[in-house]
Amino acid sequence: MRVIDSHTHLGVSRLSESVYTEEMQVASQKKWGIDVSIVLPIPKDPAGPAAAHDKIHGLCKAHPGRFFGVLDLDPSMSDDAYWKESERCVKELGFIGVKLHTYFHPCNPLSPFTDKVFEMAKHFDIPVIVHTGLISTFGLPSLQVQRAKEFPEVKIVLAHMGYNAYTAEAIVAAQICDNIFLETSWTGPGRVKEAIRKLGSTRVMMGADQLINIPWELAKLRNIDLDDVQLEDCLGKTATTIFKLPN
């Protein structure tokens, strides 16, 4: 059964003090049986966004088919600079998604200056991963309902599916909008089971966020009485479809 971690990181953060290296990523894949990792930069990497993206690209090139990149830029930067780096990431580096980080890049996802995130995702036909929950009023899952309706062609993945406290809201948002999907990191097993029951397993995908979370995220999905089809979806098939990964 293919296992995809739909949310992991590479780099260094000045804010969270997190550090994730290529060696750590490769070792974690091997230790926990992860077949594919979708890799995001950590916001506020002192190297800067372009260098952070290049670092991810290097990991993907060194381990083809095992790692795929997602770009993450501060929406408050100029539109021209945002589009230029986004185009480079998608066309030259082969990145498969974009992150809207409402916490480390504090931004109202309904503000006009965040329009470019969704417009760019629509233009390049890639999904948007949105940080939800965790002391961020801009991370309320309900705020993505309007964006999902404005951009029905764009698939929106709610990272952390509301971070447990707002998971019920994340489920409702996904019930309202078929183009909203949920990622499981930091959310309790009961809430994940509820999401699968209400939305179906093709709307939910495994994500760890931090490497230390991988065994718990895997155990969570493997111990909530999913049938084989549901488990296969949540562990890999949902992410394969949403991110258009090779089978």
CA 163 to chain centre: 13
Residues 242, 75: Cα–Cα separation, whole Å? 23
What percentage of residues in the chain have a pLDDT greater than 90? 89
Sign of the four-CA dihedral 147, 152, 156, 158: positive
At 29-54, the pLDDT tens digits run 999 999 999 999 987 788 899 999 99
Q: What pLDDT digit, counting tens, does each position of 184-225 carry? A: 999 999 999 999 999 999 999 999 999 999 999 999 999 999
**What does the alpha-carbon distance between residue 161 and residue 165 come to, in Å, rounded to a whole number?**
9
Please report the pLDDT score of residue 45 as a whole number: 80
pLDDT at 47 (0 to 100): 84
pLDDT-derived band at 103 (thresholds 50, 70, 90) equals: confident
Q: Which residue blocks in the chain are alpha helix, DSSP H?
A: 22-32, 49-62, 79-87, 115-124, 143-150, 167-176, 189-199, 214-222, 228-232, 238-242
Confidence (pLDDT) at 44: 76
| Residue-level pLDDT at 222 | 98
Higher per-residue confidence, 32 vs 12: 32
Residue 153, token pair as written in the block: 């062609």
| CA count, 13 A, side-chain hemisphere, 56 | 32
Six token digits for residue 182? 């949920």
HSE-CB of 171 using CA atoms within 13 angstroms:
19
Strand order in the sheet with 36-41: 19-20, 4-12, 36-41, 67-69
The one-letter code for the residue type at 218 is L
Q: Which residue carries 């397993």 as its tokens?
A: 201
Q: What is the pLDDT of residue 106?
A: 84
pLDDT digits (tens, 9 = 90+) for 125-184: 999 999 999 767 899 999 999 999 999 999 999 999 999 999 999 999 999 999 999 999
Task: Give the pLDDT of residue 46.
Answer: 83
Q: Where are the domains of the chain?
A: 4-242
Q: Is the pTM of this model over 0.95?
A: yes
Does the 4-242 domain belong in CATH 3.30.70.1520?
no
